[in-house]
Amino acid sequence: MAERVLITGGAGTLGQALTPLLLREGYGVRLVDVEHPNQPPGGAEIVQGDLRDPEAVDRAVHGVGAIVHAAAWHGVHLREHPAEDFWDLNVLGTRHVYEAAVEHGIKRVVFSSTMGVYGESRRPEADGPAVRIHEDLPRCPGEIYGLSKVLGEELAAYHERAHGIRGVALRYGMFVPEPFGHYGIRMLYGGVDERDVAAAVLASLRRLEREEGSFAAYNIESALPFDEDDGQALRDDPVAAIRRHWPDAPSLLEAADLKPWGPINEVFDIAKAGDELDWRPRYNFDQFLEALRRGIGTADEMPAAD
Ligand SMILES: NC(=O)c1ccc[n+]([C@@H]2O[C@H](COP(=O)([O-])OP(=O)(O)OC[C@H]3O[C@@H](n4cnc5c(N)ncnc54)[C@H](O)[C@@H]3O)[C@@H](O)[C@H]2O)c1
């Protein structure tokens, strides 16, 4: 029988993108969420449950071979949720997931982290170039969401050391659903397509199945061609930096009534995920511009990189 994967928070954006991919790849899928998904993907098993309740988590993990832990309050919730909510779901809920994994002998967990763990490390010098964000930068979150994810990464690393639960933390860029133009410009500022997020989770499950290496965290953002020569221009004149790589980009953006939102302060290095997970994003700013060239107006119809 196909191995079953549990996706916590499975009614959310990640769960909805990941479920059909895992089903196509031959996995069984169980979703646990406080909410019932609007359109439950065919073939997935759905369990209603609150991760803040350890018994509900215990029931949800029963019989699965791996867990993709995605339920969390995240950056967009900071304004309307008190810190306590982040402690209750992101920290305590994560603890419940790992304790249930220990109890049930589950040996693989993919933890959903965020680029928010870098916090202060993301800040460029006042007049300096854009910062290259790589996994070895210190994690210095300045708000509770980033802190809750640093603690989650630590729980993942601890449970690998202490209980042999192999783990990966994926530090995602932004993939909250947005109108197409916003989605495209966001690719310049740490955005990532949810299909690429789902593909990164699948690649992580495969790495864990191969029993390669030990706990590791990976940046999961869209690919951009910017290098050190672009660093200062990205901050001072982002249109010039973009034109250097895509001469027709300024006119394509103008025709779509779009422009960069301001200085581009950071460039995400995704080489580690490429090297160790064999993952490469297929929906990037490059493909967004190609969609504009072809008059395509939705992410669903966008061409994918090879
Ligand atoms: N979406 C992004 O831009 C983004 C960026 C970086 C990291 N992440 C991380 O990726 C993960 C998935 O993000 P997403 O966009 O799919 O989130 P989402 O908000 O779309 O989905 C989260 C799901 O968790 C469920 N949930 C909330 N409280 C729960 C509880 N007590 N018990 C069980 N389920 C509960 C919600 O009902 C929701 O369906 C999160 O851990 C998030 O922190 C997301």
Q: Which of 7, 8, 14, 195 to mutate to test the pocket of ligand 1 (most atoms within 8 A of CB)?
A: 14
| Predicted pLDDT of residue 43 | 87
Residue 31 has pLDDT above 80, yes or no: yes
Residue 121 has pLDDT above 70, yes or no: yes
Residue with CA at minimum distance from ligand 1 atom 10: 112
Contact 276, 207 (CB under 8 A): yes
Residue 39 has pLDDT above 80, yes or no: no
Q: Tokens 């202490």 — which residue?
A: 162
Q: How many CA atoms lie within 13 A of 29 on its CB side?
A: 26
Residue 38 has pLDDT above 90, yes or no: no
Contact 184, 126 (CB under 8 A): no
Q: C-alpha distances in angstroms, 191 versus 41, 52, 99?
A: 25, 29, 32
Residue with CA at minimum distance from ligand 1 atom 43: 74
* 3-class SS string, 222-254: CCCCCCHHHHHHHHHCHHHHHHHHCCCHHHHHH
- Rg (alpha carbons) of the chain, rounded to whole number: 19
Instruction: Kindly indicate the confidence band of residue 1, based on its pLDDT and cuts at 50, 70 and 90.
Output: low
Residue 293 has pLDDT above 60, yes or no: yes
Count of beta carbons in the 10 Å neighbourhood of residue 153: 20
Q: Which of 57, 56, 48 is nearest to 10 (CA)?
A: 48
Residue 302 has pLDDT above 80, yes or no: yes
Residue 40 has pLDDT above 80, yes or no: no
b vs e for 53-85, b when ≥16 Cβ sit within 10 Å of the residue's Cβ? Answer: ebebbeebbeebbbbbbbbbbbbeebeebeeeb
Pairwise CA distance, residues 135 & 115, whole Å: 10
Contact 238, 264 (CB under 8 A): yes
- The token duo for 183 is 């989605």
Catalytic residue list: 145
Q: Helices 94-104 and 144-163, interaxial angle, to 10°?
A: 10
Residue with CA at minimum distance from ligand 1 atom 30: 50
Please give the model's pTM, rounded to 2 decimal places. Answer: 0.97
> For residue 50, which atom of ligand 1 is closest to its CA?
32
Residue 7 has pLDDT above 90, yes or no: yes
- As for ligand 1, residues whose beta carbon falls within 6 Å of it are 9, 11-14, 33-35, 50-52, 70-72, 74, 89, 93, 112, 114, 172, 174-176
> For residue 15, which atom of ligand 1 is closest to its CA?
16
Pairwise CA distance, residues 12 & 37, whole Å: 8
Pairwise CA distance, residues 64 & 93, whole Å: 18
- The domains found in the chain, sorted by start residue, are 4-223+269-285 (3.40.50.720)
Compute the 3-state secondary structure of the chain and give helix, strand, coil in percent, each to the nearest 5: 45, 15, 40
pLDDT digits (tens, 9 = 90+) for 200-252: 999 999 999 999 889 999 999 999 999 999 999 999 999 999 999 999 999 99
Span 167-187, average pLDDT = 97
Question: Helix or strand or coil: residue 293?
Answer: helix
pLDDT digits (tens, 9 = 90+) for 60-105: 999 999 999 999 998 888 888 899 999 999 999 999 999 999 999 9
What letter would DSSP give residue 117?
G
Q: C-alpha distances in angstroms, 14 versus 9, 82, 99, 213?
A: 8, 23, 23, 25
Residue with CA at minimum distance from ligand 1 atom 36: 9
**What is the secondary structure of 136-167 as a DSSP string?**
TS--B--SHHHHHHHHHHHHHHHHHHHH--EE
